[in-house]
Each structure stands twice: as C-alpha cells, then as structure tokens.
Amino acid sequence: MSSFVLKMIAIITMTIDHAGDVFIGHISWMNYIGRIAFPIFAFQISEGYLHTKNKKNYLMRLLILAIVSQYPFWLFRSTYTSGFALNIFVTLFIGLIAIIGYEQCLEKMNKWIGLLLVVCLASTANLLKTDYGAFGVLLIFVFHFFKDKKLYLSIAYVILVLCNYLPSFIMSNFAYPYALLFVGTLVPLLFILLYNGKKGVDTKYILYGYYPVHLILLYVIHMIVC
C-alpha cells in the first residue's frame, strides 16, 4: 500500500468524519469511520520527516497551513459546538517539532531529555486545545520512535489509543460509542502496517489545499440546508 493510497483513505474518512459532525452531530457512526483518518496523517508526518530534504521548509509549510486553516476550522466547528480548538495542522506541526527536538537531543544530550521534551510538547498541545491534543503529538512520535519495529509499534499504538479512550469510556458509565471510537481508531493500524514504502502519486499540495477548502464547503452547505 503506497503513501498515495494511505492519503486517499485518510482524506475520504476525514471528510466522512467532518460531515458527520456538521449534519448528524458528534458522536455518530460517521465519526467511527472518521477515526481512521488522523492516525494515517500522523504516520505521514513521521514519514515526511524521514524523506524531506529540508525539515525547516517542512515545518514552515505545516505552520502556514495551520494559520490558513484556522478560520475555516472555526467556521466548521461553529456548526456543532461553541468550544475553542486549534486545527489539526497545529497538532501536526507540534508533532514534527517533537520528532526534530528528540533527534537533536539524541545527538547532543541523551534520549531521556528528548523524551521529556516530547512529553512537554504533548502537554502544550493539550493546553492549546489542538485537535487531538497530546494524544495526537504522542501518536506522531510513536510512529517515529518505533519506525523499524512493527511489533513494538503495534503494541505502543494500541496502548496509546486505549489510554486516550478509556477515561471517557469509564466516565460515561461504559457508553458504547467510546468503545466504537476505540475500535475505529485501531483500524488504520492495519493499513499502516501494509505500507510498502512507496510514494505513489504526489498528493502533497492536494491535501494541503483540500483541508481548509472542505471545511468551508461543509460550513456553507450547512448554512444553506440547515
């Protein structure tokens, strides 16, 4: 399975997820399907770190997209909640900083300082209320840390996903939607393990443009039909 196929799966399931938020409400069956999207995007960040020729430019692209996408993201969220949050590109940006920071600590200091930095950055994502928060940043880092160890990656992935949903599952008196969100988030691991390391069709700029545009379109459609 190439990077192109993974990205297409992520884009389609993300759109389903967001359409569910706008037209049905949070949480619905569309959101269960939508859990497939983010882990694939997180994985693509770890892959991008390995293959990009200029990491500073990569960071800058994510930052620019985070800024450009924020207003469309606010419009989109206004259709179903009044809560504040920062868009997914902020999470991806912080996740990439976590990988870069860890690798630099590995070279100049030691891995424990690097791991502490990762935890601090994940906590920062939570404080900033980024989409997927600390879970998102840690997931990006897990893909990088265990990039050559599929068994350890799978175990760490399942534990991290479990830690993300278990508190809500317990606090909701074991409401089944959280169990389904957990299961939905496990599914993309299967796709990622089938990744063959090939790029396929270059969709980098398509994805960058698609994210803010589809949020605006969902907002406009909601204003017309609802």
List the domain boundaries for the chain: 3-225
Which pTM was predicted? 0.95
Least confident of 76-85, 98-107, 189-198, 200-209: 200-209
Sequence length of the chain is 226
Query: What are φ and ψ of residue 44, in 5° steps?
Result: -65, -30
Chain-wide mean pLDDT for the chain?
94
3-state secondary structure of 15: helix
Banded pLDDT at 204 (limits 50, 70, 90) = low
Rounded-to-integer distance, Cα 147 and Cα 130, Å: 25
> 10 Å Cβ neighbour count for 94?
23
CA dihedral angle for residue 14, residue 15, residue 20, residue 21, rounded to 10 degrees: 70
Burial label for 108, CB within 10 Å (0-12, 13-18, 19+), is: exposed
| Percent above pLDDT 90 for the chain | 84
Integer angstrom CA distances of residue 105 from 116, 117, 209: 10, 9, 33
